[in-house]
């Protein structure tokens, strides 16, 4: 079994969560717990790297995206420290690009 990664939240993520409905906060928190603790760098149907993407916040390349229904969780991984840092949570309406929502 893969080692467990610690999850930390960057400054500002708390504000991202505050504007979300309670149900969305719960679903996103559950998805983070279920999908990012053990193999955060395995691409899946709901998880993918964003190589070359330059968000307006500090991060450790590559930035990753976790899809939770209409929301996106942006995170990066420090494999040596076994640490996942959640950088932002955004709502992604249909027909909008990642660049438009960050």
The whole-number average pLDDT for the span 87-95 is 95
Strand partners, 49: 64
Take residue 34 and report the two structure tokens written for it: 């279920």
pLDDT level of residue 6 (50, 70, 90 thresholds): very high
Residue 3 has what pLDDT?
Answer: 75
What is the DSSP code string of 23-91? HHHHHHHHHHHHHHSS-TTS--SSEEEETT---SS---SSEEEEEETTEEEEEEEETTTTEEEEEEEEE
- Closest by CA to 41, choosing from 84, 87, 73, is 84
- Closest by CA to 7, choosing from 90, 77, 72, is 77
The correct CATH number of 6-101 out of 3.40.50.2300, 3.30.2310.20, 3.40.50.300, 3.40.50.1100 is: 3.30.2310.20
3-class SS at 97? coil
Take residue 46 and report the two structure tokens written for it: 């709901």
In this predicted model, what pLDDT tens digit does every residue of 23-77 receive, in sequence order? 999 999 999 999 999 999 999 999 999 998 999 998 999 999 999 999 999 999 9
Residue 22 has what pLDDT?
Answer: 97
Residue 39 has what pLDDT?
Answer: 92
């Amino acid at each position: 079994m893969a080692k467990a990664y610690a999850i930390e939240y960057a400054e500002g993520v708390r504000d991202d969560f505050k504007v979300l409905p309670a149900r969305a906060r719960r679903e996103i928190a559950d998805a983070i717990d279920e999908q990012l603790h053990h193999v955060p760098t395995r691409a899946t149907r709901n998880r993918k790297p964003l190589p070359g993407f330059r968000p307006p916040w500090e991060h450790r390349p590559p930035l990753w995206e976790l899809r939770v229904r209409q929301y996106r969780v942006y995170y990066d991984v420090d494999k040596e420290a076994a640490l996942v840092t959640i950088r932002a949570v955004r709502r992604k309406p249909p027909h909008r690009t990642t660049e438009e929502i960050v």
